[in-house]
Amino acid sequence: MSVPSGMNVEGLACPGGHAVIVGTSGTSGSSGVVNATLRDTDAGAAVSVTGGRVDAVAATGSSLLLAVATGDDSEIVELDMTTGKELHRAGVKGVTASLDIAATSAGWLLYTEKSVTRVDPTTGRTKTFDLPGNLLDS
């Protein structure tokens, strides 16, 4: 799969055997205003993000979760993998860099080195739990 011109690849997911690359485009957009655009090709899909830095990507069945750092905070955006339509969005205050993101029955989990934040995708409510030590990025 070829990388779209001007894209800096920052993540990769493979939902259902369909390759998806995620990255920022050459234009940053407005600071803190995250926009994600899905472009599907025969070889796979590319998601171009403006307004922040992609820290984590996760495939969840028919959707894709993106954790995007926007300065002192992060945005989580869920995209439908078929249409590219945004399904949910939530802001997470005080998270400047995340190590991973996961979808669970209790909501999204956003991992940092020292904490885990649970995010309700419907309401956007967050709850942060401090870890007893540093989480190592593997």
Mean pLDDT of the region 89-109: 93
DSSP code for 136: P
Q: Is 15 helix (H, G, I), strand (E, B) or coil?
A: helix
β-pair partners for 129: 116
- Those residues whose C-beta lies under 8 Å from the C-beta of residue 4, and which sit 6 or more positions away, are 25, 39, 46, 48
User: What's the pLDDT tens digit per position in 8-65?
Assistant: 888 888 777 778 888 887 655 456 689 999 887 666 788 999 999 999 999 888 899 9
Cβ distance 118 to 129 under 8 Å? yes
Categorize the per-residue pLDDT at 116 as very low, low, confident or very high, splitting at 50, 70 and 90.
very high
pLDDT-derived band at 71 (thresholds 50, 70, 90) equals confident
CA-based end-to-end distance of the chain: 26
Three-state DSSP at 121 gives: coil
Query: Which pLDDT does position 133 carry in this prediction?
Result: 81
* Per-residue model confidence (pLDDT) at position 29: 47
Per-residue exposure over 86-108, b if at least 16 CB sit within 10 Å of its own CB, e if not? eebebebeebeebbbbebeeebb
The proportion of the chain whose per-residue pLDDT surpasses 90, expressed as a percent, equals 52
User: What are the CA-CA distances from residue 137 to residues 99, 100, 103 (Å)?
Assistant: 6, 8, 18
| 4-18, 21-35, 84-98, 102-116: range with lowest mean pLDDT | 21-35
